[in-house]
Amino acid sequence: MAWTYDSIGNILSKSQDGSSMTYAYNSVTHKLDTVTAGGTAYNYSYDANGNITACPKLEGASSISATLAIAYNVDNMPTQVVKSESGQPDVTTNFYYDGNGARVRKEVVGEGTTFYASQYYEVKNGVATKYIFGADRRIAKITDGEGIQYFSKDHLGSSTVVTDDSGAVVEQADYRPFGEDRFYTGTVATPTPYKYTDQELDESTGLYNYDARHYDPAIGRFISPDSLIPNLYDPQQLNPYAYCRNNPLIYVDPTGHDDELSSDDPMGNTSDSDASTEKTTETKTEQNSSDTTVSNEVKEGISEGVDELEKKGRSLLDKIRGLIPSSFGGMNSIDGYSYIDGKFVSHKEKAEKAAAIGLGAGMALSELAKATEECTQENNDTSQNSKKGGGKSGQKKSRDQIENAKKQYDQEKSKLDGMKSKANKTPDDKKAIQKQERAVSKAQDKLKASEIHTKDRRRQKPDRNM
């Protein structure tokens, strides 16, 4: 297979087995207008929000297997997809979501229904499946009547081989770069739907569910624009339909919102989007550091307050928990829960967490007020010492404060540089980098504050009449 691209990364053509298809776009919105295959042009239709509402379902690089008609809800999530194929009855698939936009039910009319209890449990046509995860990867499943089966994955996390508990291969698959099946063989009654990059393939539509959006591997694009504001410092993100920078060999998109390097990228590349984000963060921090001292202190204080709450505030939190009934938020299994970070969370639990954060914030702000008062008192004492002839001592103390602040900043910055230079960053590494960036910002703020205070003291003239 081969692809060609224009100067801004849009796919212009796809060639396969001696056949090819060409793509034509709207020059302003990057919407895919037409695809020409086998000498015939097929149009794409959109609603006012930019969602594809009617399109061909491509097969390979030369044929059209069916057409899709897609309806959306107010959150721009598909609620119904009707697949029409010549000589075959239409296949209608209905989707249902909870209040947070997570899929809770899929109904293929005339074929059956799948219920989603969480990322760990599903029930399809009365048959329950439990998924097992390790190191943020789906590694096995247990299906009623089939026992346990294990997933073997490629560097993108795609399921390529599934084996049973005896080691026998029960499913095998391979994929083209943008996710189309290269081949598939299987002997199980319940094939795994989690295939390319471990995302769920809806067999009835040929689309992948990437949580925030649906993806069509035949054209290598999402069917809806990204709902998040793009990073303006990263031109590749200005195309709201593009999948993984049009570079699916090393990038994945776990949420449907943002690409990232596969954690198993064999080349050890550094993500352009990560680098751009880091550069943007550093630039903004440098530009605004003098104005964000209090803001950063508040953030750090709130974090410390929550930690302190874990140590000293449990008795009060237990009392609050006792006041929240288990039926808080609804009486049935759907109304009383929300889908957050890949799992169902009861509204009771959310209320308890909100109470914990509120208490922690209060404690943190109290500590911040105390620290501010102490800082003010220290400045007043220094000023009084200067007036009483202690100017030299005050100046030495100021120099020491600046030196200590600079030393602390250099240490934090060096630690951050070391973390950023690490290849093959894991999600935990990225979280640690974000935490260290806050530490660097805080140290930089303290250094600038020390320098400003020193300049202020130098401008003060002792009262000779004292």
Entry pTM:
0.60
**Coil vs helix vs strand at 393:** helix
Question: What is residue 42's predicted lDDT score, i.e. its pLDDT?
Answer: 92
DSSP code, position 368: H
Beta strand pairing call for 337-340 and 112-116: unpaired
Question: What is residue 168's predicted lDDT score, i.e. its pLDDT?
Answer: 95
In 30-65, which positions are buried (b, 16+ CB within 10 angstroms) versus exposed (e)? bbbeebebeeeebebebeeebbbbebbbbebbbebe
- Return d(Cα 395, Cα 325) in angstroms, integer: 60
- Return d(Cα 338, Cα 212) in angstroms, integer: 16
Question: What is residue 97's predicted lDDT score, i.e. its pLDDT?
Answer: 96
CA-closest candidate to residue 13, choices 343, 188, 246:
246
Mean pLDDT by 10 residues, the chain (466 residues): 84 87 89 90 95 91 86 96 92 95 96 95 96 92 94 95 95 95 91 96 96 95 89 80 92 91 61 46 44 49 53 54 50 47 58 62 57 60 54 65 85 86 77 82 78 60 48
**Coil vs helix vs strand at 157:** coil
CA-closest candidate to residue 65, choices 98, 94, 42:
42
Question: What is residue 328's predicted lDDT score, i.e. its pLDDT?
Answer: 46
